[in-house]
Chains A and B, each alone.
Chain A
Amino acid sequence: MKPKRYVHGELSLTQKAVIYGVLFLFIGLFLFPIFWMASTSLKTLGQVFQLPMVWVPSAPQWSNYVEVFRVSPFGTYMWNTIWYTGITVFATVLTSAFVAFAFARLRARGSKLMFGLVLSTMMLPPQVVMIPQYLLFNKLGWVDSYLPLVVPAFTASAFLIFLLRQFYMGISHELDEAVKIDGGSYFTMFFRVILPLSLPALATGAILEFMYRWNDLMGPLIYLNSTEHYPLSLGLANFTASYGSTPWQLLMAASIIAVTPPLLLFFFAQKHFIRGIVISGSKG
C-alpha cells in the first residue's frame, strides 16, 4: 500500500486473524445483496423464484443485459444521471463547504439560531413538504425540467453542512490565526487553510452526496414527466410492473449496470478521502 496513512501501529498475527475473521463473517452478509442481484440478472424469469434457490444459473442469460438496452432508453437514463449527479454534487459540496465554514469558524449574532434552522430542515418528514414544494415549482413553471432538482443544489444541503461543520471544528485554529496575522481575509482562510485541510472530509461528503443523487427516486419522480429526461433511478423503477409481472431478471441486470459506476468510483476515490492526516499539515 503506497499511500501514507495513519494506522494504529503494526498488528500482531492474532490481531490480524481476529480482524480477518470478523471481516469475513460480515462480508458474506454484505455481499449477499450484490451476489443475489448478479445471479438473478443471469436467470430466466422462470428460474428467478424457483426453490430450492438456483445460486449459479446453469445457462447464464447474458442476453438479459442486451435486453435492458432494447426495452428501455437505458443509455439516455445513464447520461442524464451522470450530468445531473455531476452538477449537483459539485454544487452542493462546494456551497455546503462555504456554509459549514461559517458555522464552524465565524461568530455572529443569530448564528446558533441559524444552525438550529439548518438542522431542523432535516427533521420534518419530506412527505408533507412534497406537495407545497411541488406547487411552488409548478408556479415557477419548472415542472418537467431539471430545474427543481438542480437549482436548489446550489443552495447547500443541511446534511453536508452539518457533516463538514463537525470536521471543520476539529481543525486547529493555529493556521487561521497565521492567516489573520498576515492580514488575509476570511476568504483566504477558507480557500488556503480550511479547504485544503478538509479535502478528505469533502471527498467523503462528495461520495455520500453522489450516492444520494445517483439513487434519488422521489425528486425525479415528482418533477419529471418525460421518459427522455429520466435518470437511472426512475428508469430502474420503471422496470417494475403491477400484477406481479415484474421481469426480475431485467430489473436486476439493470440494477447491476446502475451500481457499477458508483462502485468503481468508490473503489478508486477512496484513497483520496482516506489519505487523510489533516493535522499533519499543521506541522509542514
Chain B
Amino acid sequence: MHTQQQAASENSSMMTGRKTKMKVHPERKKEERAFWIFASPWIIGFILFTGGPMVASLWLSFTNYDVVSSPRFTGLDNFISLFQDTLFFKSLSVTTYYVVLAVPFTIVLSLLLAVLLNQKIKGLFIFRTLFYAPSIVSGVSIAFLWSWLLNPDFGFVNNVLHEWFGLAGLGWFTDAKLVVPSMVLMQLTSLGGTMVIFLASLQSLPKDLYEAADIDGAGSFRKFFNITMPLISPVILFNTIMAIISSFQIFTQAYVITKGGPEWNSYFYVYYLFDTAFSQFRMGYASAQAWILFLLIFALTMLSLTLSKRYVHYEYTSRK
C-alpha cells in the first residue's frame, strides 16, 4: 500500500514541481504536525473505543471464555483445535466460493447500473431512486422476501416457472450446488451503496477528455475502457476492497434462509463464528476464528492494494 501512495505522491510532485519544496525541513515538519492533527479524531476514537475491544478479542482468542465465568488462558489450544475442525474448513471453503462469485458480480453489475444511470435519459432521478430503494430496506426483510420468493414449494418464482412455463421449479436454497449462487443472486437488491459510489465518481469526471476523444472519433466502448476506467480506478479499488471485506463476513442471508444448509453448503465462516459465540457460548474459540479471518482479509486487502498499483491512477489533470 505504501508504495502505491509513494507512487502517487511522487507522480504528483513531478507534475507540480513540489520536489524542491519537499526538501525544506520545517515545511516537512509542519506537514507532519498537520497530519497528526487532522488524523486525531480517528486516533482518539481508536484509543478510546475501538482498539481496546480489538485487543481484548485478540487476547480472548487464547482463552476459554463462556461469558459468565472469567476467561481462562489456554495458550494456542483454540487455534490448534480450529485446524483440526472439519467444519472450520468447510465454512472457509464455502465462504471463499461465495466471495469469488460475489465480488465480481457486485462490482460489474453496480458499475453497469451506475454507467446506465449516468446517461442523459428521461426520468433519471426516479430511476436512480428506484434502483437505490431496496438498499434502504433492512437486510433481514430482504432475506425474508427472497426466501419467500425462492421457496421451492410455495415460492413465487417456482410458481411462475410451473404455471406459466410448465417447468419444474429449482431448489434455489435447497440444492447443494445452487445455494451459494442463489445467495449471490440475492445481492442484486443490495447493490445500491456500491452503485451510488460509482455514480458519484462518474459524475466527477472531467469533460474535456471525453470531448477530445470525441474529436478523435473514439467509440463508447473505447472511451469507457481508455478514459473512464482509469479515471475511476481509485473508486473501483475502494469498492473491490469493501466488497471483499463484506463478502467474507456474509451472514444474515444464510442465518435467515438456509440455516447453513443443505449439508453445510451455506454455512459461512461468520455464521459458524456466530454459532460458536452465541449458541455455544465459546467466546474464546469464536475470537480465534475471527482473528484467522482477519488475517485472511488483511492479506487479501494488501494483495489487492499491491496489485492495483499498476492499474490505479490517483490523480488526473484536466490539461493533458
Task: Bits for B270-309, please: 1 = Cβ < 8 Å to A, else 0.
Answer: 1001100110000100110111011001100100000000
Asked if B234 and A131 sit within 8 Å, CB to CB, the answer is no
A169 to B290, CA, bound (A): 32
A96 to B60, CA, bound (A): 30
Task: Bits for B128-165, please: 1 = Cβ < 8 Å to A, else 0.
Answer: 11111111111111100100010000101001000000
Asked if A132 and B142 sit within 8 Å, CB to CB, the answer is no
A16 to B154, CA, bound (A): 38
Judged by DSSP, the binding face of B is helix
- Residues from 20 to 49 in A contacting B, C-beta threshold 8 Å: 20, 22-23, 26-27, 29-34, 36-37
Asked if B54 and A124 sit within 8 Å, CB to CB, the answer is yes
Closest chain B residue to A279, Cβ basis? B206
Contacts of B298 on A, CB cut-off 8 Å?
Answer: 120, 123
Residues A9 and B290 in contact in the complex (CB < 8 Å), given A170-B234, A279-B316: no
For the side of the interface on A, what is the size category?
35 or more
- Residues from 232 to 284 in A contacting B, C-beta threshold 8 Å: 233, 236-237, 255, 259, 262-263, 266-267, 270-271, 273-280, 282-283
A123 to B140, CA, bound (A): 22
A114 to B32, CA, bound (A): 13
A117 to B133, CA, bound (A): 33
Asked if A170 and B316 sit within 8 Å, CB to CB, the answer is yes
The answer to whether B74 has its CB under 8 Å from any CB of chain A is no
Q: Which of A59-67, A76-84, A101-109 contacts B (4 or more CB under 8 A)?
A: A101-109
Asked if B57 and A112 sit within 8 Å, CB to CB, the answer is no
The answer to whether B86 has its CB under 8 Å from any CB of chain A is no
Contacts of A283 on B, CB cut-off 8 Å?
Answer: 318
Contacts of B133 on A, CB cut-off 8 Å?
Answer: 30-31, 33-34, 259, 263
Asked if A9 and B44 sit within 8 Å, CB to CB, the answer is no
What are 17 A-B contacts defined by CB distance under 8 Å?
A15-B220, A32-B149, A51-B154, A107-B31, A108-B35, A108-B36, A114-B39, A117-B46, A127-B273, A128-B60, A155-B48, A166-B237, A166-B238, A170-B234, A174-B16, A201-B204, A211-B193
User: Chain B: residues with CB nearer than 8 A to chain A?
Assistant: 1-2, 5, 8-9, 12, 15-16, 18, 21, 28, 30-32, 34-39, 41-46, 48-50, 52-54, 56-57, 60, 67, 112-113, 116-121, 124-142, 145, 149, 154, 156, 159, 188-189, 193, 196-197, 199-201, 203-207, 210, 214, 220, 223, 231, 234-235, 237-238, 241-242, 245, 249, 270, 273-274, 277-278, 283, 286-287, 289-291, 293-294, 297-298, 301, 314-318
